[in-house]
Amino acid sequence: MAKQLSGAGLRGQVAGKTALSTVGKSGSGLTYRGYDVKELADKCQFEEVAHLILKGKLPNQQELDDYKAKLRSLRGLPTALKEVLERIPKDAHPMDVLRTGCSMLGNLETEESFDQQQDATDRMLACFPSIICYWYRFTHDGVKVDVETDDDTIGAHFLHLLHGEKPRELHEQVMNVSLILYAEHEFNASTFTARVCASTLSDMHSCVTGAIGSLRGPLHGGANEAAMDMIEKFDSPEHAEKEMMGMLERKEKIMGFGHAVYSDSDPRNEIIKQWSEKLSKDVGDTVLYPVSVRCEEVMWREKKLFCNADFFHASAYNFMGIPTKLFTPIFVMSRLTGWAAHVMEQRADNRIIRPSAEYTGEELRPVPAISER
């Protein structure tokens, strides 16, 4: 008989093994292959962390140079994919655009064997910023952008395509940190989706497409968009506190707070909050960052709920001129590394993931004749 799982949403249940990350178990609260995420965000570029997660080790200088050169060479988009992106409506959700773009890429550059899994992953890592920015600039600005930039990093490549000019060093730094913070997070909903798909021996593009679909939801990746939609309505910290108290009284869902695994704090929030403050000072902001801080204070005082990684990402992205609807696609550009590494890990020691369910329906009964129904 299958063991019944009592935890709601399978929280607290061990569903498999991974050597990729710890969440809520280490001194820092989050490590990638044994390295504290805070130290990685302070000392590394995202491409170094991607190399670590996907290939198992931090690269030396030559390996990093070679890896970045490979990724730069893979930023272009096939004509057929551009044509598909041009047909997607302007009001489509960008996560739907990425989901379609990933699926179309899988049709054009199908992973024929698991020997190609690293190349397929590197290709997606290189061109996901190209996919979302090509669609956005075409549908919103009427411009067919040249997606093959010479920017040194993925974060700079994204900002360059989005704004039509090379980003400032500060903005590239923040993007680098953001991508590192979102890169991997154990068996979250989207990663588990990817692993379930991988367990059927499906291809990498199908696994990633499914993961994008899971990340799209507001209870997962969409939380940063929801946080931005809320805080931009407040014109002062006092206004924010008044409105939030009303939301709490009405028992409305407030996004960007609490976490399924962390109990006291999210280590990623401390890092991105500092960068949000730097960006706030850089642009002369006197509202958005103070409002965000007051929201954090109210939620902790009233509910003992802490900000998760999504909350201060909202203001940080806003200060860099990134449209709210593109927040979650940035998450995809980063978490792809974790998804793909989990797919590879699942494939290396595979058994199909097929849990049992506790039946709560009717007992066995006869089928009545149609005249008796």
For 269-301, what is each residue's pLDDT tens digit?
A: 999 999 999 999 999 999 999 999 999 999 999
Residues recognised as catalytic: 259, 310
Q: Residue 165: is its pLDDT beyond 90?
A: yes
Q: Residue 131: is its pLDDT beyond 60?
A: yes
By residue count, the chain amounts to 373
**Paired strand residues for 35:** 32
From residue 309, how far is each of 9, 126, 249, 256, 257 by CA, in Å?
Answer: 21, 24, 25, 7, 9
Mapping DSSP onto H, E and C, the string for 276-300 reads HHHHHHHHCCCCHHHHHHHHHHHHH
Q: Report the candidate in 25, 205, 191 with the shortest Cα–Cα distance to residue 105.
A: 205
For 185-228, what is each residue's pLDDT tens digit?
A: 999 999 999 999 999 999 999 999 999 999 998 878 788 888 89
Q: H or E segment at 371?
A: none
Instruction: Please state, as a whole number, how many other Cβ atoms lie within 10 Å of the Cβ of residue 355.
Output: 11
Residues 242 and 302: beta-carbon distance below 8 Å: no
Domains, the chain, in order of start with CATH, read 23-219+324-348 (1.10.580.10), 223-320 (1.10.230.10)
pLDDT score, position 5: 47
